[in-house]
Structure 1
């Protein structure tokens, strides 16, 4: 490849800089004091110093007069000097003042009118060597690192020439003593840099010629041997090339012999070809169209070719991007496979600053996969699925007090399984959606929310839709509070009353048996109203007493008569439609305080003290039995003569029924905080000799005892734990629910305290999670916040989708400035599930997740994502990649050997965001056998 410098195609900054030079040459020539003026011998050799001084004064007062509306003619009386007697008449005007001879003439420049493009702000200019003004030929020269500045424009060159008679400005570079380029004509404006060997520009015709130019804007670098400017915005380039590599000799570029450039719009070339490491690639593009406009613009989207074992050869990413207006655009993409399958997606996005933003994405799949099983009836399996996502958010400034948001993700249950090379979505079995509108009163006391929700389980193929959901709340009102408080408030003034009401409607159905009648049969209605009454009493020493009263009521749209069918030996249910209610009343009082304890270690070298904080709470609540008539005991099975359970005729999937029976419960709670103060060895100033280290962020234990129950008086013991380790790098959380009672053979609790048998209790539910995210120090010293630049035009769902894309394609976003990263998490859970026959069974799940990468060398990195099912001792998901940094290009190899779809791909693509879709790839997909 040629080692000559790069070439520019944008001459708007050049034109502006040259006009700048014309301005200060004509009007501000005396503004800078560090330029030595040298005159022709015809002026400086004149022995009449008085005449010479007068001429200099005339030049200063007229030719170099500061910019005004127009240049005025000279009216000073001045005899015509003999040394310039042969000067052109155009340089002299008659002097008619004071009766002088009208034939006498004085030197003067032709009258001029300032162009509309002239700049009004001051201009700073300088030259290291000298500045030369030649009056007879009307030429001006700056030598030696000449520089001119105006606003954000900065023009530098080794030699600048201006000829007023031809209106041509020329700028040249130079060479140093080692024949290296020196002070090439350079214009810097708004972060854009243009460098050329020579620039020649005609101010009158606006035509220009630049040789060996180099232009850079953002990630784009443009070069050309010659650029001929024919109008203000159009130019022709000879032997031009485009690249995103910032080296003098780039690793790659796209070359074209001839090109036409329209500034900030488009560039069109004839035949073009790519070049790598100076070697032309035998791939010729018949013509090239290169959009130069900033921001969004419509156009075709790039495609890629793939090979899929089950779907055949494919062309993916066929599409078009269309900008409708400043507020929304549409992207349409499609995939086609040789076995007959296809996919189509339409994605409109909209954004209005300070109002709202969002996007809609509709995807259709027509899957036709080859059956690889010998027992298959048909050669191909066919399925049609769809998925729709919609996200919308409203700016809080648009309508204060009113919000509308949407987050929709719904579709066919098998849609995610048919997406190739995406194990994250292949294993996503839950889809959830919500749409919400909320209105808050101006005083903030009332809030109304109307929403709709949806969730579906791809494994069970069960879908639940809840709409409309209406929630109305009234913040606590203090009816006895004085409007204009005076003195100490009375205790009864702290009596507060609130209200909360919720109405829900839910439909449940299986997508394998979808019908309107089935949906109507599963329709459920429910509502709940709650009126809490609270009273804040003054503190009694270290104790805070808080009494409360609460009334709530449930509304149901159906009633279920559940009974044991002796003939069929099963539990049957008869449902009746109607309007039914159930109420609950509770009275309570709570007392809480805080206890502190500190242990000092004066002789310890590291530990200064350990501090323990305890927050005990005790309360009493009474709830009368207002729902006992809705419960009865029925037989549930035939094991050993049958077991019996307590069931209710009210309650559904929307709201659960209140517990039966009276209760007078004493509740106990204990929360703990443990922290340690240690000596700060890193502090050498003595300002922070100690630092705090949290050992336990929180450890709470809660239980209760029902004084009025005839059996099973003790409540389950709830334990919650949380802490951080290694300077908040490791997060640990845990929870447990312990029952003090034993169970029978079916799993139902019996009135037998395990404490009497030397056991603390029976673990019914538990969860444990430990996670950490570690990484080495970055080589460039940037923080994580500096690396992530948020796009305000993206909604929260879009940002999450972008992050998900990064997770799904980690090799494309590898940061070689961070030598290694590691994310570890381990989760385990135990739950007690009730079966359809009212018996219980324990279920245990555990998984280990590992995600990270590390650099084998400064330019090679390996990474992956690994999920291990500890319960079943098998790998749930595994993806691996290895990537190579090739300066302006990146090579990545991705392998997914385990999962619903197994795949591998080799991708070579530029790192620049401008050429993100320009890639060379080889992909293979394989479907797992079941």
Structure 2
């Protein structure tokens, strides 16, 4: 990690080039008599002793024109070889510029002296020295451009994010500087800083090293115990490797600890690596490896690995337990312009199912409430030759943290040939069913693994490896009938390859079904056909221009389809399950492809009539603005969006021909901001006494026409003070996928489930940027935001007739002053009658410091975390934090 604490000491590096003064300038008389008001530049006790060489100095040759300016006068004293510039004086030579109220150039000693002008208010027009990008603002300065020595009083400059003030600075030569009583800070005002560091003696070698005496931190001019007796710090223009000092504290279950200590490796200009670790006195330990990499215009990403060996209590105690957990995250993004035909992307989050519940180094509340981990790594290649082809190779991972079940594909191969129209004309549009005939070729191959946390990354996880491949050729065409009806015809051919099958039989001795694995290649082929017809119907209701609703438009899209799926019973076998006693024998049919990657082919013939209808209703509303004319007087508002009803009827089924009727819809309440989503299912069939569906209409069984078997209503809405602002403008959302800790771990971007952060990790603390355009009447407009999420589910598949889930969640933030921000995340479960996860957040901007307190007052994750630390990135290690961890029970 770059050593930033004393990096600012090279403010004395203002790279003074040798300056020569023209000797042949004509004297310029002042335009009017002026009293001598120029004091001696330096007080006697501070005057430097610049030793002059007694030998004859060789005159310096100028390589550029020396330009000098002054507002009141510019005077050349030939007897003393001095030139005086007064009031807004300025000297320019090559890339060096000196401005001051009063400048004296001694051509005999080859010295330049600059200071301000003394008046009733003090000194004004203090010197400013500029060279390239460096700028120094001292009270006064002297510089000898023969020896290269200089002395500067009360210099002020900014370097590396620090503002620096040195009482006396001495430039010995081009490579050595000495500074006395240096003060440096990241505060805006160095003369009235809320904190600063003070060093009595400093030796600075540009580009190589800094050697200091005592360095002590002051807060509001009060010395603190934070001090170093001496320091040696190497300097580099590039990122440097270095040690990371750990945080210390105590944990009630594991004892004292050192946390987040380690080493930072600056690998190159494109990548870095940090290796950090924790240690607890009861024997628990953890390690973390993080790396960021970026190659501009090509790719960027992050890689993180965490491993923790956790011990609860001490060995030998009855409640002692031990557990190891880990987590791996990798995010990789490729610039689309790097290679348009080839793209690699990755989003990996895998590890122990209970990592986010048991980890001691983070309070990632959003991921604690997430019960799935997902990963995907894919490489896609497009071939433009011929009809066009696409190749995709990917590996996926899905993990349920509750059941600890893991599903992986290592890898999945997909290959496709773009759609081809063999009968299309060489020129002109495609018309009719023949011209629109098209076909494709798709190939999908997988190696699927199903395992658990216990067997993950062990040889046992590959015992049930399931591999297969499927070839698919879809053939489609479409055309119009009677100008308004769109007809589509589809046929599909599939061929499936597998590497193993399963034979089944009955063991009369064990009285159980025996399943044997047959390794070797096997395959089956299937096909299906379907057709559909649809149209769009428009209805308009006009109420007149003076009505609130000028018109309402209703758009109806009915569809009707028919599909045939043959039965492939040739791939089915049977065995006899012998009965015991009076129990008769039973014939059991099975397919040797059951349990394979793509499953067994369909056995039963199906002939389905599919039907559905969708509705959209929108209104044209009068704006009631007399200044508008024509269509500008009205605006469109959606009243109902994509409300649909669908079902199917199977003619070939023995019973229960009609499928449940599916309902779905969306009700826009606030255009593009607040929608209510509805999903429901209606079953026309009745239930028997065992709550099983029977082939009898529900209305004939004494019930209603349909049974509402399940339903769900949900919505989410975000509010803020900007919604009610007349000059509300949408702001561009920044892509924080790589910086948001919760989102990178599979959680949410917002704080609806709480704000997650790494414990004792300064990188997790968010800087609060100063607000612009603030006025003294700040409370007239208080920034605030509110996120709402509501969901309710109803279940009645087996006469439960209950609301299975019903909850509302919310999170809000309000800035009660320019520097105070408070927030809350909570919710209420209306079924179980209790509050859901609740988190309170307090943040205070203390100028150069950040203060935050996160408190979870109730629930199994009850904890708090207090932090106060520096805002500047180079001083993130200067902090104080305390916490109370949530109770954890290792398994």
Is TM more than 0.5 here? yes
Instruction: Return the alpha-carbon distance in structure 2 between the equivalents of residues 220 and 802 of structure 1.
Output: 36
Query: How is 1:154-169 mapped onto 2 (pairs within 5 angstroms)?
Result: 156-169=99-112
Does 2:281 match 1:338?
yes
Instruction: Return the alpha-carbon distance in structure 1 between the equivalents of residues 90 and 566 of structure 2.
Output: 91
Instruction: Return the alpha-carbon distance in structure 2 between the equivalents of residues 631 and 721 of structure 1.
Output: 45
The answer to whether the Cα contact below 8 Å between 2:275 and 2:288 also exists between their aligned partners in 1 is yes
Which residue of 2 is the match for residue 819 of structure 1?
783
Residue of 563, 566, 584 corresponding to 1:621: 563
Query: Structure 1 residues 111 and 9 mapped into 2: Cα distance closer, same or farther (>3 Å)?
Result: closer
Which residue of 2 is the match for residue 773 of structure 1?
718
Does 2:248 match 1:305?
yes
How much does 1:365 deviate? 0.9
Query: Structure 1 residues 662 and 244 mapped into 2: Cα distance closer, same or farther (>3 Å)?
Result: same
Query: How is 1:266-305 mapped onto 2 (pairs within 5 angstroms)?
Result: 266-288=209-231, 293=236, 296-305=239-248
Give CA deviations for 1:887-920 in whole Å, capped at 9, x if unaligned: 2222222222345553222211122333233211
The answer to whether the Cα contact below 8 Å between 1:310 and 1:927 also exists between their aligned partners in 2 is no
Residue of 897, 902, 905 corresponding to 2:857: 897
Query: Structure 1 residues 822 and 755 mapped into 2: Cα distance closer, same or farther (>3 Å)?
Result: same
> Secondary structure at the residue paired with 1:519?
helix
Which residue of 2 is the match for residue 44 of structure 1?
none
Instruction: Return the alpha-carbon distance in structure 2 between the equivalents of residues 863 and 270 of structure 1.
Output: 45
Which residue of 2 is the match for residue 808 of structure 1?
756
How much does 1:415 deviate? 2.5
Which residue of 2 is the match for residue 715 of structure 1?
659
Instruction: Return the alpha-carbon distance in structure 2 between the equivalents of residues 151 and 479 of structure 1.
Output: 74
Q: What is the aligned-residue RMSD (CA, Å)?
A: 4.5
> Secondary structure at the residue paired with 2:491?
strand
Query: Structure 1 residues 883 and 708 mapped into 2: Cα distance closer, same or farther (>3 Å)?
Result: same
TM-score (norm 1): 0.78
How much does 1:531 deviate? 1.0
How much does 1:113 deviate? 4.0
The farther-off stretch of 146-155 and 534-543 is: 146-155
The answer to whether the Cα contact below 8 Å between 2:620 and 2:634 also exists between their aligned partners in 1 is yes
Which residue of 2 is the match for residue 927 of structure 1?
887
Which residue of 1 is the match for residue 672 of structure 2?
728
Instruction: Return the alpha-carbon distance in structure 2 between the equivalents of residues 921 and 842 of structure 1.
Output: 47
How much does 1:368 deviate? 0.8
The answer to whether the Cα contact below 8 Å between 1:556 and 1:651 also exists between their aligned partners in 2 is no
Which residue of 2 is the match for residue 450 of structure 1?
393
Instruction: Return the alpha-carbon distance in structure 1 between the equivalents of residues 209 and 172 of structure 2.
Output: 16
Which residue of 2 is the match for residue 195 of structure 1?
137
> Secondary structure at the residue paired with 2:286?
strand
Residue of 906, 910, 926 corresponding to 2:866: 906
Which residue of 1 is the match for residue 87 of structure 2?
144
Which residue of 1 is the match for residue 188 of structure 2?
246
How much does 1:383 deviate? 1.4
The answer to whether the Cα contact below 8 Å between 2:329 and 2:745 also exists between their aligned partners in 1 is no
Residue of 671, 695, 708 corresponding to 2:614: 671
Instruction: Return the alpha-carbon distance in structure 1 between the equivalents of residues 665 and 253 of structure 2.
Output: 49
Query: Structure 1 residues 486 and 732 mapped into 2: Cα distance closer, same or farther (>3 Å)?
Result: closer
Instruction: Return the alpha-carbon distance in structure 1 between the equivalents of residues 705 and 236 of structure 2.
Output: 73
Which residue of 2 is the match for residue 759 of structure 1?
704
Does 2:377 match 1:412?
no
Instruction: Return the alpha-carbon distance in structure 2 between the equivalents of residues 320 and 264 of structure 1.
Output: 22
Instruction: Return the alpha-carbon distance in structure 1 between the equivalents of residues 404 and 306 of structure 2.
Output: 19
The answer to whether the Cα contact below 8 Å between 1:628 and 1:661 also exists between their aligned partners in 2 is no
Does 2:697 match 1:697?
no
Query: Structure 1 residues 488 and 819 mapped into 2: Cα distance closer, same or farther (>3 Å)?
Result: closer
The answer to whether the Cα contact below 8 Å between 2:341 and 2:381 also exists between their aligned partners in 1 is yes
How much does 1:794 deviate? 11
How much does 1:723 deviate? 4.4
Does 2:445 match 1:503?
yes
Instruction: Return the alpha-carbon distance in structure 1 between the equivalents of residues 497 and 334 of structure 2.
Output: 33
Equivalent residues, number? 828
TM-score (norm 2): 0.81
The farther-off stretch of 437-446 and 620-629 is: 620-629
Query: Structure 1 residues 598 and 289 mapped into 2: Cα distance closer, same or farther (>3 Å)?
Result: farther
> Secondary structure at the residue paired with 1:206?
coil
How much does 1:392 deviate? 3.0
Query: Structure 1 residues 384 and 137 mapped into 2: Cα distance closer, same or farther (>3 Å)?
Result: same
The answer to whether the Cα contact below 8 Å between 1:196 and 1:211 also exists between their aligned partners in 2 is yes
Higher helix share: 1
Does 2:331 match 1:391?
yes
Q: Which runs of 5+ in 2 are unaligned?
A: 1-7, 33-57, 758-763, 772-781
> Secondary structure at the residue paired with 2:16?
helix
How much does 1:289 deviate? 5.2
Query: Structure 1 residues 608 and 760 mapped into 2: Cα distance closer, same or farther (>3 Å)?
Result: same
Which residue of 2 is the match for residue 878 of structure 1?
838
Query: How is 1:776-855 mapped onto 2 (pairs within 5 angstroms)?
Result: 776-777=721-722, 785=731, 788=734, 807-809=755-757, 812=766, 819-829=783-793, 844-855=804-815
Give CA deviations for 1:306-358 in whole Å, capped at 9, x if unaligned: 33222222121111111122232210101111111110112233333333333
Instruction: Return the alpha-carbon distance in structure 1 between the equivalents of residues 728 and 745 of structure 2.
Output: 21
Q: Which runs of 5+ in 1 are unaligned?
A: 1-6, 31-35, 42-109
Instruction: Return the alpha-carbon distance in structure 2 between the equivalents of residues 186 and 787 of structure 1.
Output: 41
